[in-house]
Structure 1
Amino acid sequence: MSKADNMLSILWLLQTGKRLTAKQLAEALEMNIRTVYRYIDALCASGVPIVADSGHNGGYSLLQPFTDAPLLFDLNEQKSLIHAAVFAQEAGYPFGEDLDRAIAKLKRYTNEEQRGAIERHSRGFDVILPPANPMLASMLQELEISVANEHTLIVDYQKNFQTEYQTRQIDPYGLVHWKATWYVVAFCHLRGDIRSFRVDRIGNMTRTDSTFQRPAMFSARQYFLSSLLSDADRQEKPISIKIIGRKQALNDLCGHWFLGRTLVERTHEEAHFQLDEQLVHTHVPHILLPFGKAIRVQEPSFLKDRLAAIAADLLHYYQST
C-alpha cells in the first residue's frame, strides 16, 4: 500500500476509540514498528490530534472531537460519483439539493489538477431521459422516509384510467424507478397482498402513527420484475412466432424487455420467439406495431390478422373524427 493508504489505515484503527500501542498497530497493518512511528509523526505534523500516553496502559488514541477521518477518492472514483449523480438527477431523484451539496463538497476537497480533470470528463458526459415531474419530489421524499422508518401510509390512488380516487392503507416496502416512472411496492391492506402503485397516480398521502415490519430479505426490485415478467414466463399453450426484417429492427425487437426473454433463435434476417397463445393475441401485436414496415410476421397467420385488424381500427378511428 502507498504511504497515504497506510496513514489512513492507522486513522481507521484509532477511530475505534481504543488506545493502541505502536506494536499493536504494526501487527495489525503488518509493517515495521519504526514505520508506524514515522506515520504517527507525519499525521501529527499534518494536524491530526493524536494523543500519546506512556506507561503500562499507554498507547495512541484520537482526541474525542476528532471523530471523522476524511474519505480519499482517486480521480476515477470522483468521476464515477459525478457521472452517477447526473443519472440520478435526470431520473428525478427526489433528494436533488442534497445530492448537489454532496457533489459540491467532493469538488471542494480536490486540488486544481483534479478539478480540471473532473471538468474535462464531465463536459463530454450527458444523460437524456424523459423529463421528470418536479411535483413528485416531495411525495417521493415522504415515501422514501416512510420506507426507511416503516410507517404505514393512507393514500388516495387513481387506478389505471379511472377518474375517481380510492383510499388505500399501505405499508411501503420500497421505491422502484422503471422506464422513467416511479413506483412504490407496498402491502395493500385492502387487497391483503403486495402491490405496486404508480407514484404519479397518488393524490393525497398521510403518514399514520402505525408501523409495520418489512418481510426479511424482501426485495422491491425482485418483486417488481417478477410481476412484470410473469406473463413472459407463462407457457401454458406455447406458440412460435417467426419475424423477418431489417437487422437493426430485429436487434431492437430481440432486446425488448418483454420479448427478449422469449427468444428461441436469432439469425441474420429472422427472429424466432415462443410465447403463450393468449399473450400472442393480447400483448405482442401492440409491441410489434411501432416497428411498422421494418419487420414482417411470417407466422402465425392469426398474428398477422390481428395486426391488420388493429391497424384498420386505428384508420377508421382517425378517419371518423
Structure 2
Amino acid sequence: MRASRLVSTVLLLQNRGRMTAKELAEALEVSTRTVYRDMESLSNAGIPFYAEPGHDGGYELLDGYRTRLTGLTAGEAESLCLTGMPGVAADLGLGAVLTAAQLKLTAALPAGLRDRAGRISERFHLDAPSWYQDGDHTPHLTLVAEAVWNQREVRMRYERWAAPHEVARTVQPYGLVLKAGHWYLVARTDGRLRTYRVSRILHAEVQPATFDREPGFDLAAHWRDYLKQFDARRYHGTATLRLSPHAVARLPDLLEPAIVDAARRTATEPGPDGWIEVTVPAESAEHTLPQLLKLGADAEIVAPRELRERIAQIARDMARLYQD
C-alpha cells in the first residue's frame, strides 16, 4: 500500500507540477505528516525533486524527469470502466485504485493529450441520483461488491415489501446495477435470478463458498429484460384519459416513461378544443391516482369508472378544504 502511494505521489507531481503538502495529502487521502515522511523516502530513493517553503512553495520534480512506472494493477484495470463515475467508484470501494489508475494513464500520455484529458474531467461530470431525492444509504454495498468481484456467496438478512417482511437468504451475486441513485443486486437464489435493492439489506456476510456464473450471462441484457417484465407485472390495467395541449407538453416531466410512450402511441387526433384522448397502462388506484393528480385540471379520466369516481371525490374533498 505504501509503495503504491509513493508511486502515486511521483505521478501526481509529474502530471500536475508543483503541489503543496496539503494538496498531496488531499489527493492521496492521507495526513500532511504522512506526505512529509513519503517525500523523505522518495528523496532517499533518488527521486529528483526540490521543495520550496512559504505560501507559494511546494514540491516539484526537476525539469525533464519522468517515471515509467505506469503499469496497471489488476484492481486499477478493473476500475477503468468507472473513470467517468468517481462517486460510483468510491461507493464500490474503488476510489483509491481508480485515482491511481487515472494517474498512471495520464502519466503515459504525451503533454498535449494530458491537457485534453484534464479538460474533459474538469468540464464533464456525472450525477447519478434523480432530482428531488438523494441516493440510497447502502452500508453493505462495498461488501456486496467484493463478493461480486470474487464470485463468493453472500448470506444476508433482507427487508422486503411482502410478509414476512424480514427474510434470510444465501445468494450468488452476479452483478450490481445503479439506477437513478439506487443500487440493485442481481443474484441467483434457489436456482432463479432475482433482484434485491441493496439499501434493504439489513446484514450481510461474505461466505467462503465460491460459485460459477452462468455461461454467457449478460448483466445489461438481463437488466433490460427485468425492466420490461417489471412494467408488465405492475401495469395490469389501463386508463383512458383526455389531455389538454398543456398536459401533453408536460407528460415527460411528470409521468413515467412507460406511460408517456403509451400516450404517444395511442393519441387520437386533437378535438376542436385541442384535447386528445389516450390509453395508458395503470396500476392499482392507489398508485395511479397520485400520478394523474400531477396533471391537475389538464387531464380528465374517461375510464375506468371507478378511477374517475375516485378522482372526482378527491376533487370535491379538496374544494371543501379550501372553501372560505
Quote the residue 2:85 is aligned against.
87
Aligned partner letter, 1:273: T
Answer whether contact 2:251 2:260 (CA < 8 A) is retained.
no
Residue equivalent to 1:272: 278
Alpha carbons of 1:271 and 1:253: their partners in 2 closer, same or farther (altered >3 Å)? farther
Say yes or no: does 1:296 pair with 2:302.
Answer: no
Does the Cα contact within 8 Å between 1:175 and 1:185 map onto a contact in 2? yes
Question: How much identity, in percent, do the aligned residues show?
Answer: 22
Secondary structure of the structure 1 residue equivalent to 2:307: helix
Whichever residue aligns with residue 259 of structure 1, its letter is I
Aligned residue in 1 for 2:121 = 122
Distance 2:109 2:100 in 1: 15
- Cα distance per residue 1:153-208 (max 9 Å; x no partner): 1101122398974321112122111221101111234xx64321111111221122
Corresponding letter in the other structure for 1:297: E
Q: CA deviation at 1:214?
A: 2.8
Code of the residue aligned with 1:155 in structure 2: it is M
User: Partner residue of 1:182?
Assistant: 183
Structure 1, unmatched stretches of 5+, are 1-67, 72-80
Amino acid at match of 1:284: T
CA contact (8 A) 1:253 1:260 kept: no
Q: CA deviation at 1:112?
A: 3.4
Is the CA contact 1:176–1:184 (under 8 Å) kept in the aligned structure 2? yes
Which of the residues 270, 273, 285 maps onto 2:289? 285
1:1-321 to structure 2, matched below 5 A, reads 85-89=83-87, 93-94=91-92, 95-130=94-129, 131-132=134-135, 136=139, 139-160=140-161, 165-189=166-190, 193-230=192-229, 232-233=231-232, 239-246=239-246, 247-252=248-253, 256-263=256-263, 264-266=265-267, 270=276, 272-275=278-281, 279=283, 281-289=285-293, 291-293=294-296, 295-300=298-303, 301-308=305-312
Normalised by the size of structure 2, how large is the TM-score?
0.56
Change over 3 Å in CA distance of 1:83–1:214 after alignment to 2: closer
Change (3 A) 1:129 1:230: closer
Q: Give 3-state SS (helix, strand or coil) of 2:266's partner.
A: strand
**Shift in alpha-carbon separation, 1:292–1:253, aligned structure 2, 3 A:** closer
Asked if the contact 2:148/2:174 (under 8 Å) is kept, the reply is yes
Q: Distance in 1 between matches of 2:242 and 2:110?
A: 59
After TM superposition, the structure 1 stretch with the greater mean CA deviation from structure 2, 224-233 or 166-175, is 224-233
**Contact 1:92/1:133 (8 A) holds in 2:** no
C-alpha distance 120-210 of structure 1, shift in aligned 2 (>3 A): closer
Q: Give the TM-score, by structure 1 length.
A: 0.56
2:83 is paired with a residue of what secondary structure?
helix
Matched residue pairs, number?
234
Q: Are residues 211 and 112 of structure 1, via their aligned partners in 2, closer, same or farther at CA, if it must alter by over 3 Å?
A: closer
Distance 1:166 1:273 in 2: 39
The answer to whether the Cα contact below 8 Å between 2:239 and 2:280 also exists between their aligned partners in 1 is yes
Kindly indicate whether the alpha-carbon contact (under 8 Å) linking 2:128 and 2:180 is maintained by their aligned counterparts in 1: no
Give the alignment's Cα RMSD to 1 decimal. 4.3
Structure 1 residues 83 and 203: alpha-carbon distance in aligned structure 2, compared to 1, 3 A threshold: closer
* CA distance in 2 between partners of 1:280 and 1:241 (Å): 16
Larger radius of gyration between Structure 1 and Structure 2: 1
Q: Indicate conservation of the 8 Å contact 1:83/1:122, yes or no.
A: no
- SS across alignment from 2:85: helix
